[in-house]
Amino acid sequence: MKCPSAQPGMGDVQILGVISRDADEPRLAYLDEAMPAAPETLELAAPLNVSQVFRLSARCEEKKCTHFDGSHCQLAVRIARMLPEVVDHLPACNIRPDCRWFRQEGRAACVRCPQIMTGMNEADELWQAVAGVPRLQR
């Protein structure tokens, strides 16, 4: 299984796509083919963080990941239930056959996937909830 929202240090990391900022909201422009996330390629993101330029996929780390509950990716569950659809057709994704989110949530995850930005620094309350960030008690 592959995680479509991976970090650079994970196993079998590939570039899933490039973050496009041509529209009002950032969107993922999927690559036609998987591309290894070689250090020299990821360095092209500088001075920005890698996650502001690229979205990575990698081998799902299952029990090592805070989103995995032992059988399901709860991030995929929250994405499918909490976010609006942003496309009306399945994106041209090169990992779909092995994607944890697609295998688990199907079309509901795919039509929301292009808006996912890994490691958002300026996340509002909805995005924090989707990411699983605990709410602070006031």
Task: Give the pLDDT mean for 73-98.
Answer: 96
- The burial of 84, by beta-carbon neighbours within 10 Å (0-12 exposed, 13-18 middle, 19 or more buried), is given as exposed
Q: Write down the pLDDT at residue 133.
A: 62
- Tell me: pLDDT of 53 over 80: yes
* pLDDT at residue 67 greater than cutoff 80: yes
Q: With a cut of 90, say whether residue 121 has pLDDT above it.
A: no
**Is the predicted pLDDT of residue 138 greater than 50, yes or no?**
no
Residue 9 DSSP SS3: coil
Q: Span 12-17, mean pLDDT?
A: 96
Mean pLDDT of 20-38: 90
pLDDT > 80? residue 105: yes
If you average pLDDT over residues 1-9, what whole number do you get?
93
